[in-house]
């Protein structure tokens, strides 16, 4: 179905990863717009677990559209099998629209995109760069609080994107006509190295935050020793070793095309987040 033929969605919407960075924002925005939302997470009722298909039918029953966020990342081994299984069930439940959160420069993620694109269901792909919120809601927030962003020695710039922008694009794709068949590759408005990130965070917080590059192997070993979940260690190993090799070192217009406005600047995100005290220095 072409985007000109695709009607607006008015029925219930399933949001997978409903407790994640994008998911809770999308769910809240949909509710604020008056949409009925079914939360897809292990803690919800009915429960959704990518590793256990038992509850999938209950989650899909009666919904019209779904936001598909795979945890921890579409690059993980087995992700294509899970996405194919989900698409098969979505077809059986006559879903009208799927919106997939994907990653830039990940061959495995693009394989998952192809599964959704070949599903026979109206689809939109939101292909995102690294999130600003990794520094405030994710793996790196403790580093910012400590004043030292201790990450692998990488000088490749990345166009970090704000999760609020991703959520707004996804909500538009889930509910409005005109987004079917689109791949929205979303980035922020500028290229930033990790050293640039540290400078922006220093300016926003009013204290010194330093980027401390360390060998990749030492970073991964430290993650493992800290007790981080095995899949998180694998994902960060993959991302730093592969995706930050320069393949994604360019800006895109996905936010502008989807929403008709430019994406949020990292400096604005940093100022707004600093005001919440989430980066308050830990004694």
Rounded to whole angstroms, the Cα distance separating 147 from 211 reads: 9
192 φ, ψ to 5°? -135, 130
Q: What is the CATH number of the domain that holds 23?
A: 3.40.50.720
Instruction: Note whether residue 239 is domain-resident.
Output: no
Q: How many domains does the chain have?
A: 1
Tens digit of pLDDT for each residue in 71-121?
Answer: 989 999 899 999 999 999 999 999 999 999 999 999 999 999 999 999 999
Residue 44 belongs to what domain range? 13-132+160-187+250-264
Q: Which long-range contacts (CB under 8 A, 24 or more apart) does 271-278 make?
A: 271/204, 273/136, 273/204, 274/201, 274/204, 274/205, 274/206, 278/136, 278/141
pLDDT, tens digit, for every residue of 164-176? 999 999 999 999 9
Residue 24 belongs to some domain of the structure: yes
CB 74 within 8 A of CB 108: yes
The verdict on whether omega for the bond into residue 116 sits within 30 degrees of 0, i.e. cis, is no
Instruction: Tell me, yes or no, whether 200 lies in a domain.
Output: no
Q: Is the pLDDT of residue 160 over 90?
A: yes
Q: What is the mean pLDDT of the chain?
A: 94
Task: Evaluate whether residue 58 is within a structural domain.
Answer: yes
Does 32 fall in a domain?
yes
Residue 3 has pLDDT above 50, yes or no: no
Average pLDDT estimate for 38-67: 97
């Amino acid at each position: 179905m072409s985007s000109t033929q695709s009607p607006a969605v008015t029925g219930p919407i399933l949001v997978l990863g409903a407790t994640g960075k994008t998911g809770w924002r999308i769910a809240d925005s949909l509710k604020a717009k008056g949409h009925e939302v079914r939360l897809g997470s292990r803690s919800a009722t009915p429960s959704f677990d990518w590793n256990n298909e038992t509850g999938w039918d209950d989650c899909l029953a009666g919904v019209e559209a779904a936001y598909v966020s795979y945890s921890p990342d579409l690059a993980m081994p087995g992700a294509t099998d899970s996405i194919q299984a989900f698409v098969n069930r979505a077809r059986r439940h006559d879903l009208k629209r799927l919106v997939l959160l994907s990653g830039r420069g990940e061959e495995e993620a693009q394989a998952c995109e192809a599964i959704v694109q070949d599903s026979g269901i109206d689809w939109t792909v939101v292909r995102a760069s690294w999130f600003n919120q990794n520094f405030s809601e994710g793996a790196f927030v403790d580093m910012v609080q400590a004043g030292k962003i201790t990450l692998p020695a990488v000088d490749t710039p990345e166009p970090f994107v704000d999760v609020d922008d991703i959520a707004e694009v996804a909500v538009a794709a889930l509910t409005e006509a005109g987004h079917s068949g689109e791949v929205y590759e979303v980035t922020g408005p500028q290229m930033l190295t990790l050293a640039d990130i540290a400078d922006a965070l220093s300016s926003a917080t009013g204290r010194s935050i330093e980027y401390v590059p360390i060998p990749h192997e030492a970073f991964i070993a430290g993650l493992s020793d800290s007790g981080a979940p095995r899949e998180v260690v694998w994902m960060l190993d993959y991302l730093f070793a592969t995706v930050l090799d320069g393949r994604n070192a360019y800006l895109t217009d996905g936010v502008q095309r989807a929403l008709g406005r430019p994406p949020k600047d990292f400096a604005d995100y940093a100022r707004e987040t600093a005001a919440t005290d989430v980066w308050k220095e830990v004694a």
